[in-house]
Structure 1
Amino acid sequence: MTVRFELYSTWGCHLCEQAEQMLQQAGLSGQYQVLDIVDHAHLFEQYRVLIPVLACRHTKATLGWPFDQAQLTAWLQLQLQED
């Protein structure tokens, strides 16, 4: 599968774990990559108090926390239409 999305996260973030569970429930296993913002200075600077954040590689759109499963599903549908 092609990696289409990036989940900006960090170790020990329970909200990030919830967001990843939602991605799996949405059937996106293998289509996203988790990036620890601590390992990327520009991501850390931009998202340190906003994680978890989901980004679409193609459209460059982001979905920031808080979001629920319905909001995630709607956002994903928009991104996949643009892809």
Structure 2
Amino acid sequence: MNHLTLYTTLGCHLCEQLEALLAQLHRGAYRLEKVEISESEELMARYGVRIPVLTDAAGEELDMGFEPPRLAAWLEARGWLDSAAWQRLQSGESTEDQEEQVSRIAPARPGGRRYLG
């Protein structure tokens, strides 16, 4: 099982997108640890304008992983890319699936806002 860390903050819609894409494109099992950056001045200085940042167990970072090609390339370099899912996403077949993933990861709250718990 792969251990990944997501540097995030409350209400980060780009983080939600990355999580949904990761759930869709990652081949095999993984464990995602979310780190709230607002609770640390050091983390805010390092990641404040860069979130979401995804890191692997070796500490290799991915900025802007909410962009499908970037996440796919990062996963592929590690041998973790579900190639069939990536092909479906590129062909537009899985847009609805991705929206469902976002809804499961971060359910909508009153006023249409999403909350990362």
* 8 Å CA contact 2:3, 2:57 repeated in 1: yes
Distance 1:29 1:40 in 2: 29
* 8 Å CA contact 2:51, 2:64 repeated in 1: yes
1:3 CA drift (Å): 4.8
Q: Deviations over 1:14-55 (max 9, x none)?
A: 111111111111236642211111123322110101101111
* 8 Å CA contact 1:23, 1:29 repeated in 2: no
SS at match of 2:78: helix
Q: Which structure 1 residue ranges, 5 or more long, are not aligned?
A: none
* 8 Å CA contact 1:56, 1:79 repeated in 2: no
* 8 Å CA contact 2:21, 2:66 repeated in 1: no
Kindly indicate which of the two structures has a greater share of residues assigned to helix.
2
Aligned length, in residue pairs: 79
Counterpart amino acid of 2:31? Q
Q: Which residue of 2 aligns with 1:53?
A: 53
1:80 CA drift (Å): 4.5
1:74 CA drift (Å): 1.4
Matched, 1:73 2:72: yes
Q: Which residue of 2 aligns with 1:14?
A: 13
Counterpart amino acid of 2:33? Q
Residues 23-38 of structure 1: matches in 2 within 5 Å? 23-27=22-26, 30-38=30-38
* Residues 1:69 and 1:8: Cα distance change in structure 2 (over 3 Å): same
Q: Which has the larger radius of gyration?
A: 2
Counterpart amino acid of 1:4? H
Q: Which structure 2 residue ranges, 5 or more long, are not aligned?
A: 81-117
Q: Normalising to structure 2: TM-score of the pair?
A: 0.56
